[in-house]
Structure 1
Amino acid sequence: MNIQTTDQIEINGVIVTANPGQRPALVDSCDTVPKLFAKRCEQLGDKTAHREKDLGIWRAYSWKDYWNHAKWIGLGLRALGLERGEVVSILSEDRKEWLYADMGIQAVGGIASGVYTTDSASQLEYLLRDSDSRFLFVENDEQLDKFLEIEDQAPQVVKVIIFEKEGLHDLRHEKCVFIDDLYDTGRAFDAENHGYFEAEIEKSQPGDTGLLIYTSGTTGMPKGAMLSQENVIGAMVSGAHALPTMPGDEQLCFLPLCHILERDVSVYFPLAGKAIVNFAESPETVFDNLQEVSPSHFTAVPRVWEKVYSRVLVLAQEATPIGRLAFKLAVKAGLKRADYLLARKPVPAMVALNFLIWDFLVLRNLRRMLGMDRMRRGGTGAAPISPELIKWYWAIGVQLLEGYGMTENTGLATINLPDDNKPGTVGKAVPGFQVRIAEDGEIQTYGLNNFQGYWRNNEKTAETFTDDGWLRTGDVGKVDDDGFLTITGRLKDIIITAGGKNITPAEIESRLKFSHYISDAVVIGDARKYLTCLIMIDQENVEKFAQDRKVPFSDFASLCAAQEVVDLIRKEVEEVNKDFARVEQIKDFRLINVLLTAEDEELTATMKLKRGFVEKKHSALIEEMY
């Protein structure tokens, strides 16, 4: 880190604001994303910006490709009538065109808004209508069908741009064009208006709204959170200070780009750090792609980290007796070393030596097999993760760090650091950002990352900020003497039992989810005499448990119905109950016996259970317990 001026410093070749959180927020002297994008493309030219698989082969695309395609999209939209401040929606899985559209839209002053591919046609209609989107990008025929189903309810959409032609060669629709047609329109506009794109980029200001990100809608209809250019640049600066990305770092993109977490780690932070983004073929192939890419850092929701852990345990159990013993001893050596590292204490020489031996014999090969051999750090957020699981990853040589953020503060508020980590917490406030706890226990944040407000909803915006300008997160938590934040639940989820006891269900649910056999849980008990719980089992681990004990089952429902499985979960619940007061203990539970995906109404696109939907849909199971 070298001091450049009194107000900027260099971190791994990237010059950022020396004092994060102070205006102006700058990355390489740029105060907006489009200006930084233009600078990076000019600097890096033919160097690789991202990779994507084509017919099973990884193909590289340069920063020049990035610039040209974003320019043609931006100018093409302008030629078709897009005005500054108007919203353009993107309905697609992760791919290079997602980034081209995102940058092209913002470069000409538009607002980019992502739509989850799991959303239904009616949800798409709501988002298009609420955002007043005049243009819509869709990935393929499947996503186009959703628009065609609700076309009459979205008359304001003047053009739909399609990424893939497969299955649509005979398409004839006045509103529909393919992405190549838009590129042609953009090229023609550029030829007649040389320098127009660059001039539009120069017009961008820190206060411009760049992104419209709809909340997951766990309660009620989604709200559009407006993120300004300053919000995103501010998050980049905080991220560069806390967890810097180095030039040439490899990143694997697989979570939905509609979500602010993936947008940060796969679009904006790589833009700041000059990193390379690799697009996973699909969420189903992420483990294979992880092995192929072996990224420098990898960010995922807890469920992904849990699945990797489960796979390793299954493989270990299937190994030879000598292999199982070697794995057990290697992890044991790693856990001893992790105890010191996570306690921020020097590792004794013999403990370090023992780890190095087992790392050479076992753990190095394990990381290579997982695609984590080059990983400097792993990141996790969006839901609680077991401290024991974090410790296990540190034991095998992967520094897994938990953080906290939400759409309304640009996805970055607190983070644990490699040398300042406390499992069970979500870390300390990132540089330039402040966190405080209100009298009612609510976590509140302050800094440049805090969003502008909700789209065309001044009332909700006013409710979300305190009189002195702090963001009300709606989360409940506490900050310890060392400054580490722990999240204990959501304000709106607090249960008041029939006996008048206030209970935060998230804390109990989190502890239940620490079990390898439980993937999710919803505690019930509002206005009732005692607490009960609806539980989703972890399919992979419970199936392995059943197979090892020769428990017969034919499908997921019969697996959930097996007495041995019910008894297994009962033991896990009883174990968690020991850590809670009598009034907070689970008296009964039921297993949700259907496999849920993000397409089911019970789950958000980020795989979190929607409490209201779950209680409504499974009301019969709940009544059984009372």
Structure 2
Amino acid sequence: MNTNNATRPTPKAATHFNPTVDVRQDQPVANASHQAAPILIDGCDTLVKLWRQNCLKWDSKIAHREKQLGIWQSYSWLDYYQRAQDIAMGLVELGCQAGDTVSILSEDNKEWLYCDMAINGIGAIANGIYTTDSASQLVYLLSDSQSRFLIVENDEQLHKFLSVRQQLPHIAKVIVFDKKGLRDLVDDDILFLDDLYTLGMAAPDAATRFAAAIAATQPEDIRTLIYTSGTTGNPKGAMITQRNILAQLQNLQPVLDVHSDDEQLCFLPLCHMLERLVSVDMPIHHGCYVNFAESIETVFDNLCEISPDTFTAVPRFWEKIYASVINLRADAGGFSQWMFDQAIISGHANNNSPRPSLINRLQLKFWDLLVLRNLRKLIGMNNIRRALTGAAPISPELLQWYQAIGVTIYEGYGMTESAGVISVNTGQEMRVGSVGKPVPNTQVRIADNGEILCQADSIFFGYLNLPEKTAEDLKDGWLHTGDVGELRDGYLYITGRIKDIIITAGGKNITPAAIESQLKFSPYIGDAVVIGNQRKYLTCLIMIDQDNVEKYAQNHQVNFSDFKSLCQAPKVLKLIEQVVNDVNKQFASVEQIKYFRLIDVLLGAEDEELTATMKLKRSLVEQKHHALIDSMY
């Protein structure tokens, strides 16, 4: 392995790439676009062909970095290809065939990507599973996908499988990345990654057979299964083809300025469509450097260490950075607070004026030199060229605040079923509050009921084993997104989800997303769910931001012993009441929140009330906390 630590290398020229896999014979053809002519990127009609072509072309150029013993280590594109080949041929030796599903249960790391492309390279289907999923959820996902092989990161994830292995007789072999805590394990059904590498390297004619398998891939092959969050039932396995991914890469090329020497940080789960697109597929296309965060707890530190050129995150992450900065301001002295405020005011003044005056520009330059430049360095954004947000609504005020400090965040919109991006704001065309204009080769229209419909070559093949659900979401070649929105001057605006629309007892239709976004702009509120369907008035369940509210409590002599007592403290309730009152002023009386309650149970990634992107699941929250809701009526 190449372990050069170091400064950014001089990149070689970038190219593009494409993947394919044999679609299972028992799957109905759900999307007619998959019958169309292939999409070519650099002469490749599948992602995995493009990957092989670029790995061999870029050779020793850095592809990935990962921390080991506190030091960033580098791994080349040739490492990427060779390790994937070893895994692929090892799986073949174990009996894996084209069309088989192989599931990956691991946090983000380079091995995740090696396995992903190895699986695709032999025509098999990669299925990512969230590490926060329970053992019972694991049974469902492995059974529904009929996975023949399971790849897990460590002993924790292996034990999850072992607790339910009797329910999964179709799993032929489990491969484990990390031997720590498992060195004495003897089990014929379990193999360590090092042993799989050895098996693959010993396979006869490995290089020739792997190259031939890649060459045999087709645009209609399933590149990956992406399971939706399942907020209203069991997760659905969206089948994303090689053609879908190439269409997405082709559509994004004119609107996102991706450079071959871009540094980026990978930290969202790789089984989520957004992270898969930005940390796997786009780097294969452009040759970016992907740095893996050590863990979700170290993302902020890693961000400062890498200082990426491009960075993609969900709104909750941007909210956390903002809240941290506001807390630092609160701890600063009076003069420092004044300087910070003046710098923000100057940033807003310049951004809000189509033609800032010379005085305004000079003032901003002064405050940028004195305050804002250091602030961007503090949060790891001093090199940022393109920051993106997606997967959930974000407050326009938050975007404006980031603009004021010199970090422009481009909001986009997409979903698993669109294989990523449907629309996005760009440096050339941006309107805060919208999710941008549809990307090239993508048609968007609004149905009579306000639902957003989309048509593009990137639209998914259908849901695995669910032809009825596929038929519900794919009608006459259009994807019915379930989101409500409108088009203004070519820009798409999302107003909510059809299933989330509240119809009050008075017959008023209210989309709660805008209210919830305004509440979450407060550093003291982590998430909120507005209630009121068939009721006389609106109420709200609120999840406070633990870190920021604890800090507030400490600064204001609020006694608490645990999270529950913190949520019950009168001063904390008064604090949240003030936030709610301030937000109410921005809405009509029928849209104002009359009462609220705090969810006094600390929720984490493992809790079923939260999605993988840390959003509250409305239906589950309403079910679990019905007593709190009833107390407000």
TM-score, normalising length from structure 1?
A: 0.94
Structure 1 stretches lacking a partner, 5+ long: 1-11
Is the counterpart of residue 96 in structure 1 residue 110 in structure 2? Answer: yes
Is the counterpart of residue 573 in structure 1 residue 552 in structure 2? Answer: no
User: Distance in 2 between the 1:71 and 1:105 partners?
Assistant: 9
Partners of 1:244 and 1:273 within 8 A in 2: no
Report what 1:396 is aligned to.
Answer: 405
Query: Post-superposition shift, 1:517?
Result: 2.1
Report what 1:242 is aligned to.
Answer: 255
Report what 2:624 is aligned to.
Answer: 617
Structure 1 counterpart of 2:76, one-letter code: S
User: Distance in 2 between the 1:199 and 1:361 partners?
Assistant: 59
Equivalent of 1:269 in 278, 282, 287? 282
Partners of 2:152 and 2:177 within 8 A in 1: yes
Equivalent of 2:200 in 151, 172, 186? 186
Deviation readout 1:159-216 (Å, 9 max, x if unpaired): 0000000000011111100001111111111x34541111111111111111100001
Structure 1 counterpart of 2:605, one-letter code: A
Deviation readout 1:442-471 (Å, 9 max, x if unpaired): 01111111100001211111111122x110
Equivalent of 1:441 in 450, 455, 459? 450
Query: Post-superposition shift, 1:546?
Result: 2.7
User: Distance in 1 between the 2:360 and 2:621 partners?
Assistant: 47
Distance 1:609 1:54, change over 3 A: same
Partners of 1:239 and 1:269 within 8 A in 2: no
Which is worse superposed, 191-200 or 265-274? Answer: 191-200
User: Distance in 2 between the 1:577 and 1:394 partners?
Assistant: 25
Equivalent of 2:505 in 498, 509, 518? 498
Partners of 2:17 and 2:51 within 8 A in 1: no
Which is worse superposed, 97-106 or 235-244? Answer: 235-244
Report what 2:541 is aligned to.
Answer: 534
Deviation readout 1:204-229 (Å, 9 max, x if unpaired): 11111111000011110000000000
Deviation readout 1:360-396 (Å, 9 max, x if unpaired): 2221122122211111021111111111111111111
Within 5 Å, which residues of 2 pair with 1:337-356? 337-340=350-353, 345-356=354-365
Report what 1:559 is aligned to.
Answer: 566
Report what 1:229 is aligned to.
Answer: 242
Query: Post-superposition shift, 1:519?
Result: 1.5
Partners of 1:16 and 1:237 within 8 A in 2: no
Structure 1 counterpart of 2:186, one-letter code: R
Is the counterpart of residue 119 in structure 1 residue 126 in structure 2? Answer: no
Is the counterpart of residue 209 in structure 1 residue 222 in structure 2? Answer: yes
Which is worse superposed, 207-216 or 564-573? Answer: 564-573
User: Distance in 2 between the 1:439 and 1:16 partners?
Assistant: 39
Deviation readout 1:534-559 (Å, 9 max, x if unpaired): 11112233233333332222322222
Report what 1:308 is aligned to.
Answer: 321
Query: Post-superposition shift, 1:84?
Result: 1.0
Is the counterpart of residue 132 in structure 1 residue 154 in structure 2? Answer: no
Report what 1:475 is aligned to.
Answer: 483
Distance 1:505 1:321, change over 3 A: closer
User: Distance in 1 between the 2:592 and 2:345 partners?
Assistant: 33
Partners of 1:45 and 1:62 within 8 A in 2: yes
User: Distance in 1 between the 2:37 and 2:303 partners?
Assistant: 38
User: Distance in 1 between the 2:526 and 2:615 partners?
Assistant: 10
Report what 2:473 is aligned to.
Answer: 464
Which is worse superposed, 571-580 or 390-399? Answer: 571-580
Equivalent of 1:543 in 515, 525, 550? 550
Query: Post-superposition shift, 1:259?
Result: 0.2
Using CA pairs under 8 Å that are at least 6 residues apart, name the structure with larger relative contact order, 1 or 2.
Answer: 2
Partners of 1:310 and 1:540 within 8 A in 2: no
Distance 1:13 1:164, change over 3 A: closer
Query: Post-superposition shift, 1:13?
Result: 5.2
Partners of 2:510 and 2:591 within 8 A in 1: yes
Structure 2 counterpart of 1:554, one-letter code: S
Structure 2 counterpart of 1:566, one-letter code: L
User: Distance in 2 between the 1:148 and 1:447 partners?
Assistant: 42
Report what 1:148 is aligned to.
Answer: 162
User: Distance in 2 between the 1:374 and 1:56 partners?
Assistant: 22
User: Distance in 1 between the 2:294 and 2:542 partners?
Assistant: 31
User: Distance in 2 between the 1:419 and 1:192 partners?
Assistant: 50
Query: Post-superposition shift, 1:16?
Result: 9.2
Structure 2 stretches lacking a partner, 5+ long: 1-12, 19-33
Distance 1:514 1:419, change over 3 A: same
Structure 2 counterpart of 1:155, one-letter code: P
Equivalent of 2:171 in 126, 142, 157? 157
Structure 1 counterpart of 2:453, one-letter code: Q
Secondary structure at 2:539's aligned position in 1?
A: strand
User: Distance in 1 between the 2:514 and 2:220 partners?
Assistant: 38
Secondary structure at 1:533's aligned position in 2?
A: strand
Secondary structure at 1:177's aligned position in 2?
A: strand
Structure 2 counterpart of 1:425, one-letter code: S
Structure 1 counterpart of 2:485, one-letter code: G
Aligned length, in residue pairs: 605
User: Distance in 1 between the 2:399 and 2:506 partners?
Assistant: 37
Report what 1:6 is aligned to.
Answer: none
Secondary structure at 2:264's aligned position in 1?
A: strand
Which is worse superposed, 545-554 or 298-307? Answer: 545-554
Query: Post-superposition shift, 1:132?
Result: 0.1
Report what 1:430 is aligned to.
Answer: 439
User: Distance in 2 between the 1:63 and 1:357 partners?
Assistant: 43
Partners of 1:30 and 1:36 within 8 A in 2: yes
Is the counterpart of residue 53 in structure 1 residue 67 in structure 2? Answer: yes
Deviation readout 1:30-58 (Å, 9 max, x if unpaired): 22111111011111111110000011110
User: Distance in 2 between the 1:439 and 1:28 partners?
Assistant: 41
Partners of 1:52 and 1:60 within 8 A in 2: yes
Report what 1:4 is aligned to.
Answer: none
Secondary structure at 2:43's aligned position in 1?
A: coil
User: Distance in 2 between the 1:580 and 1:315 partners?
Assistant: 30
TM-score, normalising length from structure 2?
A: 0.93
Is the counterpart of residue 371 in structure 1 residue 380 in structure 2? Answer: yes
Which is worse superposed, 285-294 or 232-241? Answer: 232-241
User: Distance in 2 between the 1:265 and 1:256 partners?
Assistant: 11
Report what 2:25 is aligned to.
Answer: none
Structure 1 counterpart of 2:572, one-letter code: V
Structure 2 counterpart of 1:426, one-letter code: V
Deviation readout 1:44-92 (Å, 9 max, x if unpaired): 1111100000111100001111000111111111111111111110000
Partners of 2:264 and 2:289 within 8 A in 1: yes
User: Distance in 2 between the 1:171 and 1:62 partners?
Assistant: 32
Structure 2 counterpart of 1:489, one-letter code: G
Distance 1:148 1:109, change over 3 A: same
CA RMSD of superposed structures (Å): 1.7
Which is worse superposed, 266-275 or 535-544? Answer: 535-544
Deviation readout 1:415-457 (Å, 9 max, x if unpaired): 1112321111111111121111100000111111110000121
Query: Post-superposition shift, 1:498?
Result: 3.1
